[in-house]
Structure 1
Amino acid sequence: MASDESELNIKEEYQLWRKNCKYMYEYVSETALTWPSLTVQWLPTCTVDEVVNAKLLLGTHTSGNDQEYLKLAATKLPIAEETAAQTEDVPKTKVSSIIKIAKKYEVDSEINRARYMPQDADVVAALLNSGKVDLFNLSSGSKYSTFDTGMESSYCLSWNPQQQGHLLSSGAENKLSIRDINKESAVLGETSSHGDIVNDVSWHAFDANVFASATEDDKMMLFDARTPTQAVSSYHSVGSSGLNTLAFSPFSHNLVALGGSNSNINLVDLRTNKLLHTMMGHGDAITCMDFSPHLDGVLASGSQDRRVFIWDLSRIGEEQAQEDAEDGSPEIFMMHAGHTGAINDLSWCPFADWTLATVADDNIVHLWQVSKSLTEGELKVGEDVVLE
């Protein structure tokens, strides 16, 4: 009976979300996949004619019931008003942002993460559930290399934004490897200094030698790639029930966000390894997280509670009226509540402000852009985030 009631509540929440879409989004599209995807990422380039032609990376998660694929998806987005104003000869066209699969690449097991290399978006690494990493070249349409991390069911994959070809991935449970995909002796360094399973890794946004890991024993560990055998520092996120994901700010050298199984997000100052602030609002474990590449202090997070939150860090500490406080903390800017399953991954669009792609266990891909009525209201986004 409880399960039936839960399903009914989810359906009612979804219908309420559909009713309010016109107030929250410039556009939102839903595409049903045959199988859920555990990964999503916009490719960084697009073409513009009457519409914006964009592409995304997706995977499949069939649990062995069908052939697994890395998928290259195509979609059409409406031209932004400011772009249309600069191209008066291009008529503004109404478009459907439903995605279509343009290309499929066979893989041996489900894809946990797929990410393009920042310096060459034709090069894509796909981390398989088997522990293997397949490397694809999208321009030639083929897989050209593979290596084994030695660890199954890992989600740890990160390209170095400063050093071309340097890929960080997980090895045996508490082990990480740095590889140069352009060299025959690929392993540049390894570390086994973790005390528990590594759930996520990321290179620093500015420093080519710095990377961090998030672990099941509530630790964020910071490493120098030149001497990776031991962490240079660590932060213990007490009470997180396991750190699932981390994100470095692309604007502040010293800001990192940590997402825990306890549903909270901790903001940490790397200079002191001290907690700056804890953001609360999700109702279940944080599964994915990323800062906006366009606006300082804007963070998106996904959770097993089926929600994606957008946070505005410049609002932290603001006073609230009683009726506003009942809706959540002041830094919660928006809640995307259109998915009916746990959020698996999210991606900010690199060429369109306030635009995201999200995938969930409900087999649905959402492409959505936040309404200008929200972003151009009283929003303080863009103000510097001060670390005190």
Structure 2
Amino acid sequence: MPWCSTLTQAPTRLGRVVIRCTRITDAAENQPNYLMLVQVQQPLYDDDSEHGDGSEKGEFASANGMVQIIQQINHEGKVNRARYMPQNQCIIATKTISAEVYVFDYSKHPAKAPINGKCNPDLRLRGHNVKGSGLSWSHFKQGYLLSGSDDGYICLWDTNATPENKALDAMRKFKVKCLSFNPLNEWAIATGSVDKTVRVLDTRNFSKPVHIFESHKKEVVQVEWNPKNETILASSCLGRRLMIWDLSRIGNGQTEEEATDGPPELLFIHGGHTSKVSDFSWNPCEDWVMASVGGDILQIWQMGDHIYHDKDDDLPGKDDLPGKDDLPGPGKDDLPGPGKDDPPCEAFSNLVI
């Protein structure tokens, strides 16, 4: 369910955000399944405006929204997960009910799916023996895709390679539950495992993790780095809570009371869902905004800034990650989207659900 980073904006007095997303359908038996491009419109507030129903920042508030289906693509069975390629947002990979991974270029498909229901992906990726949900594109190597399966194995593909009959075999295979490339650090990846841990690894040395997070109570099924803050990481398990971590706080001192809430690097726990968190994604255009799904409910929320930026603290740094002195990637000022001094506007971005 990742947000796409494309953002266009136009001044408006209404101040609303329009999110284009691809929606995963879970159709009834004998009914067609689709990957759908959906446009969602929601209110956009500036720092001085009222928030929803008078709620404080960082709290929940209701909002009127509009949803419009823009495109339907036939899909073979239920979609377990979908992710777009960061270098080309028309390219979307999906996890299927089978062991294969599909890759679609939605610009090559009609707006209305053919009535015959035939699924016609642009590429089929092979290497898994069972289905799964882990999926992540590299931000540094265009076309490199990682996929995890329920037997704990990860496959790596280079989708730039020449396929044989629109199919590619994995170029590498190793064992974890889910995985995420760090978009601001070429060498750092995060993994989640059935042993309830989240691990940060240096791809130049897989033998020893940089750090292990151990606060989850069930197996970890999803991890994702923050697109603007290199040390911020989110994870979810087979439960109702989503955890936000800050590697720059590892080793910080704590009082006995603070320690009862978790280690210093555990920044925040989102407990707003009443069923298992099946997927989540950071918004690359709006700082600290996240979308998460539990059951059939999509929540779009943001932490209060007092949580991630204490009065006496600096913003998250890079000291705990490998290769910090020569890290490529955009800074906050280079990323698209309205800044704090800009007036409310109508913003268009993408979300892959």
TM-score, structure 2 normalization: 0.70
How many residue pairs match? The answer is 292
Does 2:25 correspond to 1:47? no
| Distance in 2 separating the partners of 1:344 and 1:246 | 15
Pair 175,295 (structure 1): closer, same or farther in 2 beyond 3 Å: closer
Shift of 1:74: 2.3
Within the candidate set 217, 238, 246, 2:179 is matched to 246
Cα–Cα, structure 1 residues 270 and 60, in superposed 2: closer, same or farther, change >3 Å? Answer: same
Partner of 2:98: 130
1:291-328 Cα offsets, whole Å, 9 max, x none, are 11101200011111211111111111111111111111
Equivalent position amino acid for 1:75 in 2: V
1:75 counterpart (32, 37, 40): 40
- Pick aligned residue for 2:246 from 295, 301, 312: 312
Q: 1:57 to 1:41 in 2, by over 3 A?
A: farther
In structure 2, the CA distance between the partners of 1:77 and 1:371, relative to structure 1 (3 Å rule), is farther
CA distance change for structure 1 residues 130 and 144 in 2, over 3 Å: closer, same or farther?
A: closer
Deviations 1:337-365 (A, max 9, x none): 111222222111111110111122x2111
* Alpha carbons 2:138, 2:183 under 8 Å: kept: no
> Cα gap change, 1:144/1:368 in structure 2, threshold over 3 Å: closer, same or farther?
same
Cα gap change, 1:320/1:144 in structure 2, threshold over 3 Å: closer, same or farther?
Answer: closer
Residue identity opposite 1:280 in structure 2: E
Give the alignment's Cα RMSD to 1 decimal: 3.4
Question: Could you say which residue in structure 2 is the equivalent of 1:236?
Answer: none
Find 1:295's aligned residue among 220, 224, 229. Answer: 229
**CA–CA separation in structure 1 for the residues paired with 2:224 and 2:25:** 22
Of 197, 202, 210, the match for 1:276: 210
Change (3 A) 1:292 1:170: closer
Distance 1:385 1:78 in 2: 37
State yes or no: 1:178 paired with 2:111: no
Q: Is the 8 A contact 1:64 1:109 kept in 2?
A: no
Q: Pick one of 122, 133, 149 that aligns with 1:145.
A: 122
Deviations 1:138-183 (CA, angstroms, capped at 9, x unpaired): 3454366353637442335444434544555579976846353684
Matched, 1:367 2:300: yes
Letter in 1 for 2:201: V
Which residue among 65, 79, 82 is the counterpart of 1:111?
79
SS at match of 1:283: coil
Q: Secondary structure at the match of 2:5?
A: coil
Q: 1:172 to 1:187 in 2, by over 3 A?
A: farther
Q: CA deviation at 1:99?
A: 6.4
Post-superposition shift, 1:123? 2.4
Matches of 1:95 and 1:41, distance apart in 2: 22
Query: What's the offset of the Cα at 1:130?
Result: 2.6
Pair 1:323-2:257 in alignment: yes
Could you list the runs of 5+ residues in structure 1 that have no partner in the other structure? Answer: 1-39, 85-93, 195-212, 216-242
Q: Is the 8 A contact 1:259 1:266 kept in 2?
A: yes
CA deviations on 1:258-308 (whole Å, 9 max, x unpaired) are 212222222334444313332122221111001111012000111112111
Please state if 1:100 is matched with 2:67.
yes
Task: Tell me, in whole angstroms, the C-alpha distance in 2 between the residues paired with 1:255 and 1:165.
Answer: 18
Q: Secondary structure at the match of 1:43?
A: strand
Q: Structure 1 residues 269 and 130 mapped into 2: Cα distance closer, same or farther (>3 Å)?
A: closer
TM, length-normalised to structure 1: 0.64
Question: Offset of 1:83 from its aligned partner?
Answer: 12
Q: 1:127 to 1:247 in 2, by over 3 A?
A: closer
Q: How many angstroms apart in 2 are the aligned matches of 1:281 and 1:364?
A: 25
Compare 173-182 and 107-116 and name the one that shifted more: 173-182
CA distance, structure 2, for counterparts of residue 175 and residue 328 of structure 1: 29
Q: For the residues of structure 2 that align with 1:172 and 1:187, how far apart are their CA atoms?
A: 21
Does the CA-based 8 Å contact 2:228-2:287 persist in structure 1?
Answer: yes
> In structure 2, do the counterparts of structure 1 residues 98 and 373 end up closer, same or farther at CA, with 3 Å as the change threshold?
farther
Taking every aligned residue pair, what percent have the same amino acid on both sides?
A: 27
Partner residue of 1:208? none
Deviations 1:84-127 (A, max 9, x none): 9xxxxxxxxx9937462524333120002212222221222223
Assess if the C-alpha contact under 8 Å between 2:247 and 2:320 holds in 1: no
Alpha-carbon distance between aligned partners in 2 of 1:281 and 1:175, rounded to the nearest angstrom = 23
Gaps of 5+ in 2: 50-60, 111-119, 323-353
